[in-house]
Structure 1
Amino acid sequence: MTKTFLAKKEDLQRDWHVIDATDKVLGRMASRIAMILQGKTKPIYTPHVDTGDFVIVTNAKKIKLTGNKMNDKVYYTHSGYPGGFKEHPIKKWMEKHPDRIVNLAVKRMLPKTKLGSAMLKKLKVYAGPDHSHEAQQPKILEI
């Protein structure tokens, strides 16, 4: 009889990966990043343990959207107060905060639990090509 392997927090070895988002489709890239953050690409994946790696996304301002999403897609927020409903067209967010678009796409693909929040903290998104994580010696990951 074989025992089922369960990963423990103390035994984890986390890697750092760099993804260049230039000309990548947002949804396809975000789903791949979500898999890496959850640890589903590793053989030691355990559902109740955060086994994922760190991911650095550069050039977020150069992502692509398919179809006519650049003109049609809108994000909605509500402050909780009367009249607090706001619309944020993706075209304006691409100009001001392209890192938020990638972050939100990945966030919505992760579990909506405390574990999902911990996984999202391992995602670092930068609008330009530079990042401040050279000391971690990240590996370049092609998607």
Structure 2
Amino acid sequence: MVESNNQNREWYLFDAENEVLGRLSTKVANKLRGKDKTAFRDNIDTGDYAVVINADKIRVTGKKDEQKVYHHHTGYLGHLKTVTYSELLESKPEEIIKHAVRGMLPNNKLREQFMGRLKIYSGNKHPHQNVKFKGQE
């Protein structure tokens, strides 16, 4: 049986420039869960680290850049906040990828562990320069 705490985790670098949001998110979610490994178990965390750069250059297909809307509720009565894709891309482009990947992960106790290993940066520079990346996709 695989123990999740005594394994070496790999680091993967994903460049989001001119990538479609959904296709990139599925690749990232599969690496975070460890679905490409032979020791994959859905109840054990066997995933790797994922670093996504150029999040501000991600693209979507069709008219989603004008029509896609993100909602969140503050918890107060009548405080449903709505923001469009293009507004969110200008202000916080990391949140777009984070929201897409989070929706592709299972809704259980492991989701926050998976999301903790996801690092998203809007520019080309990131603080993980000394890390040896296994793959660049």
TM range (shorter): over 0.9
Output the CA distance in 1 between the equivalents of 2:134 and 2:7: 18
The answer on 1:98 being equivalent to 2:67 is: no
1:72 maps to 67
Deviation at 1:19, TM superposition (A): 0.6
Deviation string, structure 1 residues 49-91 (Cα, Å, up to 9, x no partner): 1100000000000011000000000001111211211111010
CA distance in 1, matches of 2:5, 2:108: 21
**Structure 2: how far apart are the matches of 1:112 and 1:135?**
33
Match of 2:123 among 105, 128, 135: 128
- Unpaired runs of at least 5, structure 2: none
State the shift of 1:111 in Å: 1.0
Partner residue in 2 for 1:110? 105
Q: Which amino acid aligns with 1:17?
A: Y
Partners of 1:83 and 1:58 lie apart in 2 by 36
Amino acid at match of 1:141: Q
- 1:85 aligned partner, one-letter code: L
- CA drift of 1:121 comes to 0.5
**1:3 alignment partner in structure 2:** none
TM score, norm. by length of structure 2 = 0.96
Determine whether 1:56 maps to 2:51.
yes
Which residue of 35, 38, 42 maps to 2:33? 38
What amino acid does structure 2 have at the position aligned with 1:114?
K
Alignment match of 1:29 (pick from 24, 30, 34): 24
Amino acid at match of 1:138: F
Paired residue total: 137
**Aligned CA-pair RMSD:** 1.0
* Higher Cα radius of gyration: 1
Comparing 109-118 and 57-66, the one that deviates more: 109-118
Matches of 2:126 and 2:74 in 1, distance apart? Answer: 32
131-140 vs 80-89, which moves further: 131-140
Report SS of the residue matched to 2:65. helix
Give TM-score scaled by structure 1 length. Answer: 0.92
Letter in 1 for 2:45: D
1:20 is matched with which residue? Answer: 15
